[in-house]
Every structure is written in structure tokens, then in C-alpha cells.
Chains A and B, each alone.
Chain A
Amino acid sequence: MQRKEFNQLKKSVISDIRQQKHRKRAAWLFSLIALIFVTLFGWYPLITAFIVAFQEFHLIRPSVFVGLEHFRLLLFFDWMVPLVFRNTLLYSGLSIGLTFLLPIIVSILLMEMRKNVIRVMMILWFIPMASMAGIILWKWFYSPEYGLFNGILSRLGFPMLQWLRDPRLTMFCLVLPGIIMYGPGLIYIATIQSIPDELYEAAELEGARFWQKIWYITLPRLRPIIAVMLILGIVSRMQTFDLPFVMTGGGPNNAVMMVVIYIYQLAFSEFKYGRGTALSILLFAVTMALIILQRKYFKENIDR
């Protein structure tokens, strides 16, 4: 009797060990390809960046180690650097200040519509134009000679504007599409829909009004996702390239010359790879500083 139980136990332990082994092997097999990719195309270039930035980098001749020379040149002797950072910060600030709240507001208001209306609206809203198509279309809207905007202005009897060719207007032109094309954000809608109805019902019993319900229930619930989106928004806007590059290529009189466009020019038209990389590390530092500030002043969870 005892022997039988013992045998059974032995069997189950052995099969357990075998399973553990199987599991371990599967775990590593499943991770293998991803680990190779993240090593070769994630970490390796990143480490190389921190080597290249301290070298006078040549493709053909051997590279020379120059220490902080690139950073010194960039920070104190390159008049473009303050300009591009000013432009990038201005663009990020304007774009976040003017367009970040819109999807949140629209998503909250959208919930007031009837179910089928929401459905129709969402489909129409997400009839997307591919991003390059959108940029080109807006560039055509802005065309001073044949564009729609000047057409409307002249029809209404206002003086026509030079839009993208006017250094004072260019930055505004980059932000304008984001303001006009307001729409809901899928993530916000998802989060709002996951808020339990009981919360609102309880608030209603307490006599909460429409705005109070938004202020005291919806917004606090959205707070974590807003914090995440804000960080992603800052990071992506600090690296903006496509929009200014396609619209003006840096702009009349460098009006919308962004950091990444300047990095692109340094590396791929002047072949100063070391200096370009050094500038990208500076951009990283500035972005990090912004994120730290954001995390300090915009707590993810209000309860803590």
C-alpha cells in the first residue's frame, strides 16, 4: 500500500520536473528571436551612439577619439543649436497646449450620443487619410497662389496670406491641422467605457450636475492614461520630422527648423556623423528633463 503511494508520488514528481524542463526550454525558444533582434537593432546601435558621439567619425579613415569636443562645439559655437531647440520646444509646447486636450474633450462629449450615433460617428471619424497624404493635402491648402485658404480669404475680402512662406506664420501652420481636425481618441473612449456606471448613478443620487460628473468622476479615472499619453506626446513631438520636413524642409529663414531635421542635415548632407549623434544625445537629455518635470507636476494617480 505504502509502496504504491510512494510510486505514484515519484511518478508525479518526475513528470513535474520534466514539465518544468519543457517549460524552461519553451520559454527560451519563444524569447530567442526577439532577444536577437533587440540586441542587434535595439541595444547595439544605442551603445554605438555613445561611442560615435565622442569620436571624429570617418567612414573611410580611422575615427579619432575627441572626447567632449562635439558637445562643446554644439553648445557654445553652433548658432543653429539654440535656434533648433527653441523651435522644437515652441512646436511641442504649442502642439501639446492647443491640441492635447481636444481628443479628451471630444471623447467625453461623444458618450452623450446614442449608441448607434456613436458608431456612425466613429466610423466617419476614422476614415483615415494616410499621414503623407494628409501632409501633402494641407500643403496644397496652404498654397499661396492656388490654395483653398487663400481662395476663401479672397472670396471673403480679406488680404491673402503667404502661409508657409511667411516665417511668422509657418509654425502656426504646422499646428493648425491638429486644431481643426479635432476628434476622439480610441484610448480615451476605451477607458471611459470601462468606468463602472454605478459611480455615475451614485453621483446622480447625490445631485451631481453634468460638469461635476465629468470633473469628479471621468477626469480622475482618465488621469493615469492622460499621464501616459502626455509622456508619449512629449517624446514624439520633440522628435517631429515628417511634418516640417515635407511642408517646408525647415522653413523660410529656418522658421521651423527642428532638432531632428538639423541632425538629418548634419549627418546626411554634411557627413558629420559624430556631431549629429552628439546632438541627438542632447535631444535625449532635454526630453528626459521634460519628462521628469512632467512626472513631478502631473502625478499619475491622484489618490497617492
Chain B
Amino acid sequence: MPLINEVGKKYWKVRMLLVVITVFLWIGVGLHLFPVYWAFMTSIKTRYETYSFPPTWWPHKITFASYTILFKASSLYKIMNYPLLTYLKNTLIIVGAIMAIQIPVCALVAYALSKLHTPKWNRILFLYLVGPMLVPGVISLIPLFLLLLHFPFPTKHIPTLPFTNIFFPHIKIINTYWAVILPGCYSAFNVLLFKGFFDRIPDELINAARLDGASELGIFLRIILPISKPIFAVITYFTFSGTFNTFMWPFIVLKEKTWPLAVIMYKMQHTIFQYYTENPEIGGSMAREVGPNTLMAVSIIQSIPVFIMFIIFREQLMKGIKLRGFK
């Protein structure tokens, strides 16, 4: 609700205030749009023009070479070893798998906590499920890495099965997609959000369905799911943008062949800024067209999926975010 009422708008002082607020807000919008504009403009400049100083506000010569070059691996010597499609595919696999596993898992456990467990178990399980969230994630960074080297043991000294010489079964998860997917399959934060929402669904609704003879899974699928669309939208969007943007963990546990987009972008910018900007002569030995324009082209490409997701979930987000379960 606007705090300035219609009567107040008669006074010029109040009106000035309103103008100031409006200008302030629109400037903020402009500042947010500018990087997108700048990235796009840089991406359609020629490499030569990106190195003009001071930089030009719009390209003198429009070229889409920076986009086409990304899909040909051979031309990107030393910058990326595979064509961009490989990294897009990796991102799709990782993000898709995490979302497909994490969201149902979290929703089901939150529903069980909220409606099915007895109060005693409820308290114990809740602490057990949310506990790891209270500790900063960086603590499990190194141990998790060690564990994934020969899961489920942190060292190479794997105990043998009792009374035999056979090693305990263990597998190496590192350098496969699973190294990123498995730790991402559960999120305590999402359980909290789901539980906050499910707690406010009246029990009578579920009991009525039980009297009609519906199974518990049936109740969840047919009654709870349809009324929880907003919270699912919120969580889907945040899980997507969260996993899509993670850089550190994939960077540590994966090899280039399985890198998602964010990691290859790190490597690209490292090489390009290092060689092309600081020592342009060395850069000359690499592909002629590659420079900051390529980098900005990848940035635009990376931003598109996030934008699409926002457009898809916009209505539900605005609605779902109003839920006070968000705490």
C-alpha cells in the first residue's frame, strides 16, 4: 500500500518527494539494465574494436562472429578444448539431475515431517535434517572431496571385509557428473521452505481424503501438489539459479570434459585477460577473432537460461514469494 495518500499529493513538498523516489528507482532499473546492454554491445563488436580506448558505446561494425566461433572447437585453441555445446550439455545434465532429484526428495520429506510423523520423531528428525545447514558449507569442502575420491572412505587405506582379503567395496566418484550431483541432491533450506508451506495446509483436508480411502502417496500427489504450486515455483527457480551458478565445487571435482558453463567461463576469462589484454603480442599467436567479445558472447549465452526461467516462473514467483513460509 502506498504510504503517500492522495490528499498528501497536493502539497508540493510531498510531490517533490515522490518525484525524487521515482527518479531514484528508475535510475536503479537503468543501472541494472546497463550491464546487459554493455555485454551485448561488446559481444557484437569486432575484436579490434573491443581494444579501442576509450571504449565505444555502440559497435561501429556489427558482427556475430564471436557467437559462431564458439561452436567450433578448433578455432578456440588454448581457450576451450571442446565446442561450447559440450559445456552446455554438461550444465544441462548437472542442473537437470539435481533439480529432478532434489525437489521431490525435499518436498516428500518436508511433507512427512509436517503431516505424517509423530511429534516425537518429528522433533528428532527435524534436528537431524536441518543440522548440517547450521554449519558453514566450507567445512565439508575438503572432507567431501576426500570422501568422493574413494567413496565411502576418506583415505586410500580401505579396510578389508572381516576374515577375508577382499577390500571393502568402494568407488571413485570424482571427475564424474555424480560428484556434483550427489552432494546437491538434498538441501536443508528447501526442506525448511516446504515445511513452512505444508504446515499451513489444514489437517482436515488430508483427513477427509483419508476417510475417502486415498493412499498417502495419492493424497500427496492429488491434493497437496495442486495447492502447492507457488512454493514449488519459488523453489524450482531458486534451485535452478543456485545450481546453474555454482562455480567452486564443479571447479574442484571435475575435469574439463565435464565442466559446466560457469567453470569454462572462468578458464576463458583467465586466458583471455591474461594473454590478450596484458600481452597482446602473445595473444597474436592464438585465434585472431577471440577476445573480450567472445567472453561477452558466452556471458550472454549463459544468462539466457536464467532469464527464460524467470519469465516462466514470474507470475508464480510474485505470488509464491508472498507466502510467509519464506523464513
Q: Is B262 an interface residue (CB 8 A)?
A: yes
Q: Is B36 an interface residue (CB 8 A)?
A: yes
Chain B proximity of A169: nearest CB distance (Å): 17
Q: Which residues of B contact A (CB under 8 A)?
A: 1-5, 8, 14, 17-18, 21-22, 24-26, 28-29, 31-33, 35-36, 38-39, 42, 50-55, 105-106, 108-109, 111-113, 116-118, 121, 125, 128-129, 131-132, 135-147, 149, 152, 154-157, 182-183, 185-186, 188, 191, 210, 215-217, 220, 241, 244-245, 247-248, 252, 261-262, 265-266, 269, 273, 277, 292, 295-296, 298-300, 302-303, 305-307, 310, 314, 317-318, 321-324, 326-327
Q: Is A8 an interface residue (CB 8 A)?
A: no
Do B156 and A59 touch (CB < 8 A)? yes
Do A280 and B138 touch (CB < 8 A)? yes
Do B108 and A43 touch (CB < 8 A)? no
Do B5 and A204 touch (CB < 8 A)? yes
Chain A proximity of B99: nearest CB distance (Å): 15
Q: Is A268 an interface residue (CB 8 A)?
A: yes
A147→B296 CA distance, assembly (Å): 13
Asked if A200 meets B146 with Cβ closer than 8 Å, knowing A130-B299, A147-B55, the reply is no
List 15 additional A-B contacts (Cβ < 8 Å) besides A31-B109, A273-B146. A31-B112, A34-B105, A34-B109, A59-B156, A134-B35, A140-B292, A143-B277, A146-B53, A187-B321, A200-B1, A204-B5, A228-B327, A246-B269, A267-B142, A280-B139
Q: Is A68 an interface residue (CB 8 A)?
A: no
A-side contacts of B300, CB under 8 Å: 133
Asked if A132 meets B245 with Cβ closer than 8 Å, knowing A33-B105, A186-B317, A190-B321, the reply is yes
Q: Is A62 an interface residue (CB 8 A)?
A: yes
Interface of B, secondary structure class, is: helix
A189→B326 CA distance, assembly (Å): 12
Question: Which of B116, B129, B273 contacts A30, CB < 8 Å?
Answer: B116
Do A239 and B137 touch (CB < 8 A)? yes
Do A200 and B303 touch (CB < 8 A)? no
Interface of A, secondary structure class, is: helix
Do A137 and B35 touch (CB < 8 A)? yes
Interface size class of A (residues with CB under 8 A): 35 or more
B-side contacts of A122, CB under 8 Å: 318
Do B299 and A45 touch (CB < 8 A)? no
What are 21 A-B contacts with C-beta separation under 8 Å? A27-B117, A31-B109, A33-B105, A45-B144, A49-B139, A58-B155, A60-B156, A112-B2, A122-B318, A127-B32, A134-B35, A150-B54, A181-B31, A182-B31, A183-B28, A187-B326, A190-B323, A225-B327, A239-B138, A277-B142, A287-B136
